[in-house]
């Protein structure tokens, strides 16, 4: 290569294409920063307002009566974990089972296409609609042991929100499993059920688990469905058939009170809830990386 040919390959700032490249790179970086800015501002603001209030008493005690200082959000933490666990017990089997059917038994059938369309629509339905649905179906009719508002009803409402996420991630995760693994298992005499349970499901564990964790993270932060189903209680959980406290509803109730003590508890609960959801999303990302290693 001659010296003149080598010079023609050098990066030259004065060229119009290089100037436009720098301009559009800067604009893309600016928009990327603007997209992340709300998340950073929310985390920083919640950390400043609620992070300094975190102590052992706050995490283990009941909230005080309105207007009084002290107390904590222990019942709301327990209630959130209990309702989310109930929702997971309902949504995970249904979602994983539905995803297995779509990916392994009816990939392109008419019913499968209908289910996929339904899950896409359901994933975009406002959460308050799910709460109203469970209210009309379960709470107002008192079909569960004659009880109305309860942790079970709240878990059902959150399960409705979780199911589309679990179905879609299970369906897509199983599609990523190489078809040769299925052929190999069936070639040595394994049945369809054994192939699914022993080969395809373990191979797709990482994406399925990622979808489950993301669904749980979404459900844990919902407020509107729980207002219509689980309501709220200032006491510790008294079984799953009675009203129960949750952090999202506690934040809603206390943030609109005219008392500084309750507003402080709302900020503290906001910090705890944001940290729980953040940790759940980090866990989902870590599990997702397992599928690429």
106 lies in some domain: yes
Please answer whether residues 161 and 95 qualify as being in contact, where contact means their C-beta atoms are separated by less than 8 angstroms.
no
DSSP string of 85-121?
Answer: HHHHHHHHHHHHHHHHIIIII-SSSHHHHHHHHHHHH
Across the range 112-127, mean pLDDT stands at 88
Burial letters 219-244, b for 16+ CB under 10 A, else e: bbbbbbbbbbbbbbbbeebeebbbbb
Contacts 24+ apart (CB under 8 A), 215-218: 215/91, 215/95, 215/161, 215/162, 215/163, 215/165, 215/166, 216/84, 216/87, 216/88, 216/162, 216/280, 217/277, 217/280, 217/281, 217/284, 218/161, 218/162, 218/165
Burial letters 88-99, b for 16+ CB under 10 A, else e: bebbbebbbebb
Provide the pLDDT confidence category of residue 211 given band limits of 50, 70 and 90.
Answer: confident
27 lies in some domain: no
The confidence score (pLDDT) of residue 8 equals: 58
The confidence score (pLDDT) of residue 100 equals: 92
249 lies in some domain: yes
Secondary structure of 24-52 as H, E, C letters: HHHHHHHHHHHHHHHHHHHHHHHHHHHHH
Domain span holding position 183: 56-290
41 lies in some domain: no
The confidence score (pLDDT) of residue 150 equals: 92
More confident of the two residues 231 and 110: 231
For 283, the enclosing helix (H) or strand (E) is: helix 260-290
50 lies in some domain: no
pLDDT digits (tens, 9 = 90+) for 153-195: 999 999 999 999 999 999 998 988 888 888 888 888 888 888 9
The confidence score (pLDDT) of residue 147 equals: 85
The confidence score (pLDDT) of residue 252 equals: 92
At 188, which CATH number?
1.10.3720.10
Query: Which residues, listed in sequence order, are joined to residue 144 by a DSSP beta bridge?
Result: 147
CA end-to-end span of the chain: 42
Q: Is 252 exposed, middle or buried (0-12, 13-18, 19+ CB in 10 A)?
A: middle
179 lies in some domain: yes
The pTM for the full model equals: 0.85
DSSP string of 260-273?
Answer: HHHHHHHHHHHHHH
Across the range 230-253, mean pLDDT stands at 90
What are the residues whose beta carbons fall under 8 Å from the beta carbon of 284, sequence distance 6 or more? 210, 213, 214, 217
Provide the pLDDT confidence category of residue 43 given band limits of 50, 70 and 90.
Answer: confident
Looking at the predicted structure, is the pLDDT value of residue 4 above 80? Answer: no
As a whole-number percent, the residues of the chain with pLDDT over 70 amount to 94
The confidence score (pLDDT) of residue 6 equals: 55
Give the residue among 269, 288, 293 at the shortest CA–CA distance from 80.
Answer: 269
33 lies in some domain: no
User: How many structural domains are present in the chain?
Assistant: 1
The confidence score (pLDDT) of residue 11 equals: 64
What does residue 190 show for φ and ψ, rounded to 5 degrees? -75, 145
In 3-state terms, the chain is what percent helix, strand and coil (to 5)? 75, 0, 25
Looking at the predicted structure, is the pLDDT value of residue 1 above 60? Answer: no
pLDDT digits (tens, 9 = 90+) for 72-99: 899 999 999 999 999 999 999 999 999 9
pLDDT digits (tens, 9 = 90+) for 264-285: 999 999 999 988 888 888 888 8
62 lies in some domain: yes
Looking at the predicted structure, is the pLDDT value of residue 67 above 90? Answer: no
């Amino acid at each position: 290569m001659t010296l003149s040919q080598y010079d023609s390959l050098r990066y030259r700032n004065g060229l119009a294409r290089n100037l436009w490249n720098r301009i559009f790179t800067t604009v893309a970086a600016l928009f990327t920063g603007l997209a992340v800015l709300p998340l950073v501002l929310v985390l920083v603001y919640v950390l400043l307002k609620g992070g300094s209030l975190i102590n052992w008493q706050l995490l283990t005690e009941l909230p005080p009566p309105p207007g009084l200082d002290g107390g904590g959000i222990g019942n709301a933490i327990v209630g959130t974990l209990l309702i989310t666990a109930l929702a997971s017990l309902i949504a995970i089997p249904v979602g994983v089972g539905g995803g297995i059917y779509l990916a392994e038994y009816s990939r392109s059938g008419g019913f499968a296409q209908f289910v996929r369309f339904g899950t896409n629509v359901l994933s975009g339905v406002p959460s308050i609609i799910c709460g109203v649905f469970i209210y009309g179906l379960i709470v107002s009719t008192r079909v569960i042991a004659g009880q109305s508002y309860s942790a079970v009803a709240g878990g059902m409402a959150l399960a409705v929100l979780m199911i589309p996420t679990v179905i879609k991630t299970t369906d897509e995760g199983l599609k990523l499993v190489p078809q040769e693994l299925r052929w190999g298992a069936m070639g040595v005499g394994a049945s369809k059920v054994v192939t699914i349970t022993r080969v395809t499901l373990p191979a797709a564990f990482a994406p399925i688990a990622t979808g489950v964790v993301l669904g749980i993270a979404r459900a844990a932060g919902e407020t509107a469905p729980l207002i219509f189903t689980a309501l709220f209680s200032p006491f510790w959980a008294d079984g799953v058939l009675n009203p129960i406290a949750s952090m999202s509803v506690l934040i809603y109730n206390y943030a609109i009170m005219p008392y500084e003590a309750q507003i402080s508890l709302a900020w503290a609960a906001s910090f705890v809830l944001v940290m729980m959801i953040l940790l759940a999303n980090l866990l989902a990302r870590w599990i997702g990386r397992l599928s690429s290693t």
